[in-house]
Amino acid sequence: MAFEIEKKYLVLNSDWKKFVTSSFDIVQGYLSTDSDRCVRVRIFGNKAFLTIKGQKNKCIGAEFEYEIPIDDAKYMIDNMCLDFVVRKTRHVCFVDGFYWEVDVFYDLNEGLILAEIEISKDNVKFPEILPLWIGEEVTEQKEYFNAYLSKNPFNFRNRS
C-alpha cells in the first residue's frame, strides 16, 4: 500500500523562484471527489496518470497512482471529469536538503500559489526551519485541496 505524507502551505512572496530546479505544466480533473476518496486524472508533460487517494489523517493518506495513455487521459478530462479542470504550473524547489513543490494556479484559480513538501515514510522529519517565503500551513484546510478547487475555484471565493 502506498502512503503520501505531505504538508501544504500558502506562499508569501516570490522568493521561492531562486530555488527552482525544474517546472512543468499540469492539467487535472476529477472523476470522484466524495469525502472518503477522490479519483484524479492528470496530465503533465507527455505523461498521464490516474490517481486514487483515500481520506487523510492529518498529513498522511493512502495514494495509488498509475500511468495511463495520454489519449485516455485527454478523453477523460474533456468528457468525464466533474466541474472545473485545475490548471497549474508546478515548480520544484530544492531548499536546505528538501524538495518543495510550488504550484502556481491559473484560470479560475488564478492568484493562488501553494507550496507542498512531501516526505517518504523512511524520513519522517519535516524541516524544522521553513523557508521565509512559506506562510500559513493549510494541510488540513479543504479549501486548498485540488479536488475542492475543482468545484469551488479560488476566484469564486475571493471576488469582492
d(Cα 4, Cα 120) in Å, to the nearest integer?
8
* pTM, to two decimals: 0.89
Segment 80-102, tens digit of pLDDT: 998 899 999 999 999 998 999 99
Domain extent, residue 147, equals 3-157
Domain count along the chain: 1
Give the CA distances from residue 33 to residues 51, 55, 58, 140, in Å, rounded to whole numbers and listed in that order: 12, 11, 18, 16
pLDDT of residue 34: 84
C-alpha 33/C-alpha 35 separation (Å) is 7
pLDDT at 55 over 80: no
User: Please, where are the H alpha helices in the chain?
Assistant: 70-79, 146-151, 154-157
Active site residues: 30
Angle at 48 between CA 46 and CA 51, to 5 degrees: 155
User: For the domain that residue 39 is a member of, what is the CATH number?
Assistant: 2.40.320.10
Instruction: Name the band, by pLDDT with cuts 50, 70 and 90, for residue 78.
Output: very high
Residues 6+ apart with CB under 8 A from 57: none
| The amino acid at 142 | K
* Predicted pLDDT of residue 160: 44
pLDDT in tens, 101-150: 999 999 999 999 999 998 766 556 777 889 999 999 999 898 999 999 99
